[in-house]
Structure 1
Amino acid sequence: MISIDLNCDMGEGFGVYTLGYDEEAMPHVSSINVACGFHASDPANMWKTVRLAKQYGIAVGAHPAFPDLVGFGRRSMAASTEEIKADVIYQIGALWAFCQAEGIKMQHVKVHGAMYNQAEKDIQVAVAIAEAIKAVDPGLYMLCLGNSTMVEGAKQAGVNYVEEAFADRAYTAQGTLVPRKQAGAVIHDVSLVSERVLSMVKHKEVAAIDGSIIPITAQTICVHGDTPGAIDMIKAIRHKLEQEGIALKPFGLTLK
């Protein structure tokens, strides 16, 4: 049976402010990426999210970012590789402690926002992230945008990695994500997104924004839980996959 992992960013509330639909989305995904306090979240929200993941049997990963609460981690920073490594290690360690407290094992690390965007283009940033992950726990997986510099960075550092695709994001003909500021970068049509995910998983290809067909090799698909209609979209994706006999499993189970 074919299987795929669906991952979703969660725990991005802060204090009394709630962001996203964590409790509604949690039962319909197989892995989550928990914000670690630098772009969103706080200790109480991190712990709450890990507890929810344990309740639903969902695999947990850390979601480190640049220290940018105001910009939600989406603003690029001219950080040195040593600063990036320190920031990533610090954030992994924070979430690791909550996982330990709940008796669960962390599966992976997926960096957020601007750090992710820099890593997919800059080999030094990608290697710094990979080295930080390996330094904390060589058993952790690094989530990498498929066919990007992140994959090369993970290989150079010798860290476990999986390639990731995005359910609701448009791709360029070169296989990179269309920048969010460009029209059509985010796809809101639930039926279209479901069909695209099925194509990614079953046929290992997807239509780029210019209509060309590009190859996609992914062990995990990112779905977003903080946009209008997100829950309906996640449910539709899962239903489409299950209709085709495709199982949802954390990649950590299938790659052992």
Structure 2
Amino acid sequence: MSLSVDLNADLGEGVGDDAAMLEVVTSANIACGFHAGTPSELLATCRAAADAGTRVGAQVSYPDKAGFGRRFMEIAPDDLAADVLYQIGALDAMARAAGTALAYVKPHGALYNALVHHEAQADAVINAVAQYDSQLSVMGLPGSEVLRRARRAGLSVITEAFADRAYTADGTLVPRSQPGAVLTDSAQIADRVVTLVRTGTLAAVDATTIGVDAQSVCLHGDTPGAVEHARAVAAALREAGIEVVAPRHQAG
């Protein structure tokens, strides 16, 4: 059986080279204005994704433009659900106006990391997605609370790994505040993505091998050298005979 993987990137944030990233990725996680992005930027990004034939997802966040959504916030579940519902609706409107459709929801930054273990916030996010459109998929870290709750709610899920982020031995991401949390060597990043797709494993920071079941791999668009990293990953996958395609719908 041939191997395949989806490549996704965080776009519409007003940083990085979105046009170049859209030449590589098959899924675009587009900001919804809470951590980054103006309405005009979001609409333009949706149009560019539609022109590229790239699948569109809503990247929902804490209301934290000052911190780029990378600071944890203790928010009441009802308020968080309303925030997420608002963001999905806004990006869905932009996608429709651009002639495309919203396919999935991916939390951003600190919210993404919180939803690995924070049960109340995970419930809030899943309630918002289910209330808006039960056909939307939820993208997240394998084994996370948010994906467990998505499956229970009957939503489809997309498991994700990160090309340029270091992992702890328990399969979570090394906090950005720690040295070595973000990888910077394009060849190293490309090699680990090929290994991930072929074997379902990655090397953690303590040199142990961990299992990572990922249908999609994130290529951050806002890190230095992001475009070079993305192109190196795509080229390495092609050379390894691995197809880059958006994931098929997977029921919860």
1:36-80 superposed Cα distances (whole Å, 9 cap, x missing partner): 111110110010000000111000000111111111111111101
Partners of 1:168 and 1:255 lie apart in 2 by 25
CA contact (8 A) 1:169 1:185 kept: yes
The alignment status of 1:240 with 2:236, answered yes or no, reads yes
Aligned to 1:35: 31
Please give the TM-score of this superposition, normalised by the length of structure 1: 0.95
Partners of 2:144 and 2:189 lie apart in 1 by 22
Partners of 1:233 and 1:254 lie apart in 2 by 27
Aligned to 2:7: 6
The alignment status of 1:134 with 2:127, answered yes or no, reads no
- For structure 1, the 5+ residue unaligned runs are 14-18
Partners of 1:100 and 1:44 lie apart in 2 by 14
Partners of 1:134 and 1:245 lie apart in 2 by 37
Partners of 2:49 and 2:121 lie apart in 1 by 29
Deviation for aligned residue 1:138: 0.8
Deviation for aligned residue 1:254: 6.2
Superposed counterparts of 1:175-254, under 5 Å: 175-251=171-247, 253=248
- For structure 2, the 5+ residue unaligned runs are none
Partners of 1:133 and 1:150 lie apart in 2 by 11
The alignment status of 1:167 with 2:178, answered yes or no, reads no
Return the letter of the residue paired with 2:65.
L
Superposed counterparts of 1:40-189, under 5 Å: 40-189=36-185
Deviation for aligned residue 1:101: 1.3
Partners of 1:102 and 1:45 lie apart in 2 by 12
Instruction: Give the match's secondary structure for 2:62.
Output: coil
Partners of 1:67 and 1:226 lie apart in 2 by 19
Of all paired residues, the percent bearing the same amino acid is 42
Return the letter of the residue paired with 2:241.
G
1:150-193 superposed Cα distances (whole Å, 9 cap, x missing partner): 22221233221111100011111111111111111111111111
Return the letter of the residue paired with 1:2.
L
1:199-242 superposed Cα distances (whole Å, 9 cap, x missing partner): 11110001000000000101100011111111111000000101
Aligned to 1:16: none
1:87-113 superposed Cα distances (whole Å, 9 cap, x missing partner): 001000001011111221211100111
Partners of 1:150 and 1:209 lie apart in 2 by 24
Partners of 1:181 and 1:161 lie apart in 2 by 29
Instruction: Give the match's secondary structure for 1:155.
Output: helix
Partners of 1:198 and 1:250 lie apart in 2 by 17
Partners of 1:103 and 1:255 lie apart in 2 by 24
Partners of 2:71 and 2:229 lie apart in 1 by 27
CA contact (8 A) 1:166 1:222 kept: yes
CA contact (8 A) 1:34 1:60 kept: yes
Partners of 1:197 and 1:126 lie apart in 2 by 28
Which deviates the most, 145-154 or 87-96? 145-154
Instruction: Give the match's secondary structure for 2:83.
Output: helix
Instruction: Give the match's secondary structure for 1:109.
Output: strand
Return the letter of the residue paired with 2:87.
Q
Please give the TM-score of this superposition, normalised by the length of structure 2: 0.96
